[in-house]
Amino acid sequence: MRTDGVGQVTEVGMLLRSTPMGEMTRTIVSGRVRFGETVRDALFRHVENDLGPMAFPLLPPQPTPFTVAEYFPMPGLSAFHDERQHAVSLAFVVPVTGTCEPRQDALEVTWFAPEAAASDAVAAEMEGGRGTLIRQALASLGLLR
């Protein structure tokens, strides 16, 4: 996310990527914590891997997730679905201040106003229930009515 000088969220960044099936989807920065790695180090590494070394994430001294999402390989058990695995995900809001250039398999970073990021149209472009995570993140910040 991007914030203004007083810490209010002004934009929500989402990655645009192409799936192996040729579909265009939106996603968020995500990934695993490596053996022996702190959550803080993992957050920094994933932001840099997905958004580039000039993204400049603002990580708090003690990162705290806004929610815990449980992904199931079978659709319908929760709002979150990942056909590859059953996974438990800690979800964080991470403001960035620098220039974001997509890396890995992402084609671009698109910045949305918070209201647009929470819309049904954007959620429909996201896979695995990640639109729900965006809404939960915005709600945790008091930005959804």
pLDDT band at 104 (very low <50, low <70, confident <90, very high): confident
Q: Using the predicted structure, report yes or no on whether residue 144 has a pLDDT greater than 90.
A: no
Q: Using the predicted structure, report yes or no on whether residue 145 has a pLDDT greater than 90.
A: no
Pairwise CA distance, residues 113 & 72, whole Å: 30
**Mean pLDDT over residues 15-42, rounded?**
93
**Mean pLDDT over residues 86-109, rounded?**
92
**Mean pLDDT over residues 2-23, rounded?**
92
Please report the pLDDT score of residue 64 as a whole number.
95
**Mean pLDDT over residues 41-70, rounded?**
94
Please report the pLDDT score of residue 49 as a whole number.
94
Please report the pLDDT score of residue 66 as a whole number.
96
Pairwise CA distance, residues 139 & 145, whole Å: 8
How many C-beta neighbours within 10 Å does residue 32 have? 10
- Which of 55-59, 104-108, 129-133 shows the lowest per-residue confidence on average (mean pLDDT)? 104-108
pLDDT digits (tens, 9 = 90+) for 77-95: 999 999 899 999 999 999 9
Q: Using the predicted structure, report yes or no on whether residue 1 has a pLDDT greater than 80.
A: yes
**Mean pLDDT over residues 46-74, rounded?**
94
Walk me through the domains of the chain, giving residue ranges and CATH numbers.
2-65+92-140 (3.90.79.10)
**Residue-averaged pLDDT of the chain:** 93
Q: With CA atoms as reference, report the closest residue to 117 among 14, 41, 8, 4.
A: 14
DSSP assignment of 73-139 equals: SSTTSSS-B-TT--EEEEE----B-S-----TTEEEEEEE-HHHHTSHHHHHTBSTTHHHHHHHHHH
Please report the pLDDT score of residue 60 as a whole number.
87
